[in-house]
Structure formats: structure tokens, C-alpha cells
Amino acid sequence: MADKLYIFDTTLRDGEQVPGCQLNTVEKIQVAKALEELGVDIIEAGFPISSPGDFNSVVEISKAVSNPTICALTRAVQKDIDVAVEALQYAKHKRIHTGIGTSDSHIKYKFNSTREEVIERAVAAVKYARRFVDEVEFYAEDAGRTDNAYLARVVEAVIKAGAKVVNIPDTTGYCFPEEYGAKIKYLIDHVDGIENAIISTHCHNDLGMATANALAGVMNGARQVEVTINGIGERAGNTAMEEVVMALKSRNTAIVETGINTKKIAPTSRMVSNLMNMPVQANKAIVGRNAFAHSSGIHQDGVLKNIQTYEIIDPKEVGIDENSIVLTARSGRAALKHRLSVLGIEVNDERLNHLYEEFLRLADKKKEVLDNDLLALAGITPKTENNIKLDYLQSTAGKEIRNIASIGLDIAGEKFEAAATGNGPVDAAVNALKQIVKRNMVLQNFTIQAINKGSNDAAKVHMQVLYDDNVYYGFGVDTDIVVASIEAYIDAINKFPNK
Ligand code: KIV
Ligand code: ZN
């Protein structure tokens, strides 16, 4: 039987450290719930001592999800551990993730210490954390550049001290897969008591090898992988969960299996990307816009005859409805006919030939011919009412004055203007917007965050708008918080379905 591979998700800790990606507690709970549905085993919810916001998020996530273990990060410092214990008080299953740098450069430059002292601090931290929780995970920061013989001594000592999981981070994304795999094997072969702990991978992507390294770790005995959705994380990011999970699934390796419901991968990826305002690159494996898109005529023809010709994963397995045939000047008649039929337009050969000529003329001018273009070619007017853009916004704010806002919108090329008052500048602007867009919508949640620091900072606004029993999320960013707010509202409205 295949071993269980534990999926430890650190989107909300290592992923969230990326500048501009910070989420508020409400958004973190949303992500945590999605991770629970996805089937992750452990959610690293934050680094509680780092800020009151992180502390609060760990508390609230602990209350909001019950299946996964909730993990809190600490340094090998008693105060950190005390705060983590407090933050985890409501978690049904809890874990403390404590650790210290073990590479010579961390020992010398970060701690001005010695190898022996670092082992002592590591052991003391694990023993201290074990006073409060059963599950203690130890990380040997910069293990990727730590001498293997010394690393084995650290790992042996922390397992003896009570660590149940030992994390071997390639913090700087330095290792090659063979090297990282050999490191894990070295530990398995040389550490007394290694059978009492799970070895975990935690790989960064600085050289584009985070997924390969994590897999090399698994092939050599690691049974937990630390990952993030879409591979987000500091610098070049962390190992992407979807890549590890789908690599193992699609190659049908009998070694390990995960509990991930892969059909939830695409929706979770989109949610994280939207909330963190972190676009996924189009050619990103598994979740990129082009991951299942075929554009050359030869490939399109093959895929339409038998999908296996050019596809190794059925997109439905990761929650994408169908593979997409991208229509470009290189597409053939078969692809055009297929897309028209998906849009509900059946054509005979004569009409197809005619449309194909028009299609080629258009494709020569445009990089990609979209569904709306095809509908127009076929003489059907696409619905564009959800295409709202903010033309201008003027608002007054201050003490003991009336807050007035005037707004100009461009809706599918048509111009609209309105003005309104409100109890504040945002309220006035929203009221003006609602005079133009007359939908039965309710603003359910509204958060404003500064991206950096200082009064010249840009504000990041998230809005949650209820419409037709569905919730739509909008995002806006601007140095003017009223503009950012209205952009967020418009972003949410633009996601409403066409009527
Ligand atoms: O990359 C790293 O070393 C980390 C540790 C704090 C686990 O994120
Ligand atoms: Zn990391």
C-alpha cells in the first residue's frame, strides 16, 4: 500500500510574506476554509509573535476550520512559543513549528554562535514546545546549505527531544534535485531514531527547482511536503502544491498518495490569486491560463481527435471544465467548428468556409480570437453590460461639510454620470455609482489596507458584494482610498453574470 504523503500548506504564512499579498483575517479564513475543502492535512496559519494581525488570524482560523491541523510558526525562543500556544488555544488539532538556522553562515552571521550552541537552543525549544503540545515540528533553516553530518546531529537531537516532524528547508532555493534527495536519504540512513519522526520538505524556487526538489525528497523518504497554492512565496516562491500533487497523481507513482481533492485545485488557485492580487503566469503548470490551451493547428487537430495526443492530465481532474482550444491565425477549420459548437452555433460546410475566411482575416489582426469575436463574426451581438470602467471620480471629504461625490462611468462604450451625498466620501461615491448601476446589490464586507507604510502609500481595498444570493469579490488599489474603493466595487460588479 502507498504511504500517506502529508500536505502542509503554508500559503497563509510563507506565501503571505510576499509584499502586497497581505490578507486580512476575513480573507485568511476564506482561504483556510478552501484549503480544508481541498483536503490539506496541515495549515500553517501564521507566525503569531510577528504581529497582532498574525496572532488574530491564527486564533480565528483555529476556530473556523476543524479537519486540518493548525500550525503556528515560532523561532527557537520561549516567548515566541508562549504566544503561539495562546494563539492556538482554539485549534482542534494543533502543531508548533519551531526552529533555528543550521548552516554555517546562519550560525556565524545571524546568531554569532557555534554549532554546539545551536543544537542546545534547538533542543531547548523543542522540549519547551512539547510541554504545551504533542505535535512539535522542528525546522533547520537553510538546511539546503547545511553540512549533512552536522544536520544529522541536529535532527537526531531534536527527535530525541520530542520533535514529531523534522523540516529540512532549502531556504534559499540552492539545491539541485539529486543533492536535495541525497540529503534526505543521508538523514534517513544516518540518524538514530529517524523512524520516530516524519521528514518534511520545504523548498524555495530561486533556481526554478522547488517542485523537482520536493519530489526528490519524497522519492528518498520524506513523507510531508510544505507547499503553497500557485507556488507563491518570498522571492521566486515556494513549491507549488498543485504541481507536486498532480505530478504524483498523473505519473501514478505507487509510492505515496495524498488526500487532496484535485477537482478543487483550479477554484482554490483562482481564489488565492484574486484575494492576494497575485496573477498566475499564463504558462504556469496546472493552473496557468494556458496550461490546457492548444494553439497550433496540428495540436488542435490531434486534441480534437483524441485528447491524449497532447494532454497528460484531464483538465477536469483539476477542476477546469474543458481543455481550451485557443483560436489564432494558426488554427484550422476543425478548431473553429468545435468552438462555434461549444458556443451553441452549428454550421454547415459552406458557412464554415465563409466564417473561416473571415476568422483568418481577424486572426491576422488580433493575437487571439475570443468568444465574443466569434459571436460577432457569426452575427450574434455579445452581451457586454458587465464591462464597466471608472472614467472619473471627484469627492469631497472633511469635517462638518457635506460629503458629495460625482462619478463618470464608461459602460461598454457608453458614458454615464451621477452625483450623490453620503455619510462619508466612500458612501457618497457608492451612492453615486448605484444611481447608474441599478442592481439589487449589498456591500457585505469592506476592508482597506495600506500596502507599505507612510502617508504617500497606496491603499488596497477588498469588497464583498452580495448579488442574487451569490457573493462577488472585488479588488482595487490606488493612492486615493475613495478611488480604490470604487474600483473594488466596480471589479465585483464586473464579475456578476450577464443577464
Ligand atoms: O524557508 C524557510 O526556511 C522557512 C522556515 C521558517 C520554515 O520558511
Ligand atoms: Zn520558507
- pLDDT tens for 345-403 read 888 999 999 999 999 988 888 777 887 788 888 877 544 446 899 999 999 888 888 89
The values of phi and psi at residue 457, to 5°, are -75, 160
d(Cα 302, Cα 323) in Å, to the nearest integer?
A: 13
- How high is the pLDDT of residue 451? 61
Which residue owns the Cα nearest ligand 1 atom 5?
A: 141
Which residue owns the Cα nearest ligand 1 atom 2?
A: 171
Of 398 and 151, more confident: 151
DSSP state at residue 68: S
Identify which ligand lies nearest to the alpha carbon of 168: 1
Q: Ligand 1 pocket test: which of 139, 154, 224, 239 has the largest number of ligand atoms within 8 Å of its C-beta?
A: 139
Q: Ligand 1 pocket test: which of 16, 73, 200 has the largest number of ligand atoms within 8 Å of its C-beta?
A: 73
Of 88 and 375, more confident: 88
Ligand 1 pocket (Cβ < 6 Å) reads 14, 139, 141, 167, 169, 171, 202, 204
Q: How many whole angstroms from 144 Cα to the centroid of ligand 2?
A: 11
- How high is the pLDDT of residue 308? 81
Q: Ligand 1 pocket test: which of 54, 167, 171, 213 has the largest number of ligand atoms within 8 Å of its C-beta?
A: 171
What average pLDDT does the structure give for the chain? 91
Q: How many whole angstroms from 52 Cα to the centroid of ligand 2?
A: 21
Identify which ligand lies nearest to the alpha carbon of 238: 2
Of 382 and 165, more confident: 165
Question: 41-54 pLDDT, tens per residue?
Answer: 999 999 999 999 99
d(Cα 144, Cα 142) in Å, to the nearest integer?
A: 5
Q: How many whole angstroms from 247 Cα to the centroid of ligand 1?
A: 23
Length of the chain: 499
Beta strand 414-422 pairing with 403-411: antiparallel
Across 426-440, average pLDDT:
92
Close Cβ partners of 379 (under 8 Å, ≥ 6 residues apart): none
Across 182-200, average pLDDT:
98
Question: 103-127 pLDDT, tens per residue?
Answer: 999 999 999 999 999 999 999 999 9
On whether the CB atoms of residues 249 and 218 are closer than 8 A, the answer is no
The CA-based angle 22-23-25, given to 5 degrees, is 140
Across 241-246, average pLDDT:
98
Closest CA to 222 of 135, 143, 114: 143
Neighbour-count burial of 341, counting CB atoms closer than 10 A to its CB (0-12 exposed, 13-18 middle, 19+ buried): exposed
On whether the CB atoms of residues 201 and 235 are closer than 8 A, the answer is no
Across 71-80, average pLDDT:
98
pLDDT beyond 90 at 153: yes
- How high is the pLDDT of residue 322? 64
Residue carrying the nine cell digits 512539547: 130
Question: 387-401 pLDDT, tens per residue?
Answer: 899 999 999 888 888
What is the second-level CATH architecture of the domain 388-493?
Answer: 2-Layer Sandwich (3.30)
Identify which ligand lies nearest to the alpha carbon of 102: 1
d(Cα 419, Cα 406) in Å, to the nearest integer?
A: 4
Question: 441-450 pLDDT, tens per residue?
Answer: 989 888 887 6
On whether the CB atoms of residues 265 and 280 are closer than 8 A, the answer is no
Across 144-150, average pLDDT:
98
Query: CATH assignment of 3-275, given 3.40.190.10, 3.40.50.300, 3.60.130.10, 3.20.20.70?
Result: 3.20.20.70
- How high is the pLDDT of residue 453? 56
For the stretch 443-481, what's the b/e string if a residue is b when 16 or more beta carbons lie within 10 angstroms of its beta carbon? beebebbeeeeeeeeebbbbbbbebeeeebbbbbbbeeb
Across 430-435, average pLDDT:
94
Beta strand 6-9 pairing with 42-46: parallel
What is the distance of C-alpha 75 from the center of its chain?
25
- How high is the pLDDT of residue 445? 80
Q: How many whole angstroms from 371 Cα to the centroid of ligand 1?
A: 44
Close Cβ partners of 158 (under 8 Å, ≥ 6 residues apart): 122, 123, 126, 138, 166
- How high is the pLDDT of residue 385? 47
How would DSSP label each residue in 464-478?
Answer: EEEETTEEEEEEEEE
Across 61-77, average pLDDT:
98
Neighbour-count burial of 128, counting CB atoms closer than 10 A to its CB (0-12 exposed, 13-18 middle, 19+ buried): buried
Which residue owns the Cα nearest ligand 1 atom 7?
A: 139
pLDDT-wise least confident of 160-164, 325-329, 340-344:
340-344
Across 301-312, average pLDDT:
80
Q: Ligand 1 pocket test: which of 141, 158, 224, 235 has the largest number of ligand atoms within 8 Å of its C-beta?
A: 141
d(Cα 200, Cα 15) in Å, to the nearest integer?
A: 17
On whether the CB atoms of residues 154 and 186 are closer than 8 A, the answer is no
Which residue owns the Cα nearest ligand 1 atom 6?
A: 141
Q: How many whole angstroms from 172 Cα to the centroid of ligand 2?
A: 8
Residue carrying the nine cell digits 460588479: 493
Share of the chain above pLDDT 70, in %: 96
Domain 3-275 and domain 388-493 have a common topology: no
pLDDT beyond 80 at 3: yes
Of 431 and 254, more confident: 431
- How high is the pLDDT of residue 335? 87
3-state secondary structure of 12: coil
Q: How many whole angstroms from 263 Cα to the centroid of ligand 1?
A: 29
User: Could you give the count of Cα atoms lying within 13 Å of 190 in the half-sphere of its Cβ?
Assistant: 14
Could you state, in order of their start, the residue ranges of all structural domains in the chain? 3-275, 293-377, 388-493
